[in-house]
Amino acid sequence: MENSSKHYSSDNMSKTLYDELVSVYEKISSTSSRLEKEDIIADFLKSIKENDPDITYDVALLLQGKIFPPWSDKEMGISTQLIIKALSKLNCQFDYDQILGFNKTYIIYEK
């Protein structure tokens, strides 16, 4: 990444690191080139390794869309229904097709 003077904390993911991760996701999704995706990920992981090598594996998992390693039996316990209930607490319109893969738009009113 551009600025290699950053330092991340292993204890928690800093906002800066999360912002960079989101930026990497956006760059990856904007290209269909496998080689370009590889370069984007390599640059990002190099930055992580230089700044906080202890979190490199965790970040690699997140890049794969995973939270826990393959051998873990842990689960987040967040179902689609839980997401819908959480969203229903907000007073606005959601396009569930974008959020959860549904083909309907729901208007949720505060109860």
Which tens digits make up the pLDDT trace of 63-81? 988 888 888 898 888 887 7
List of long-range contacts for 64-67, beta carbons under 8 Å, 24+ apart: none
Which tens digits make up the pLDDT trace of 21-30? 999 999 999 9
Q: What is the mean pLDDT of residues 32-36?
A: 95
Boundaries of every domain in the chain: 1-72, 77-111
Average pLDDT, the chain: 77
pLDDT, position 35: 96
- Does the predicted model carry a pTM greater than 0.75? no
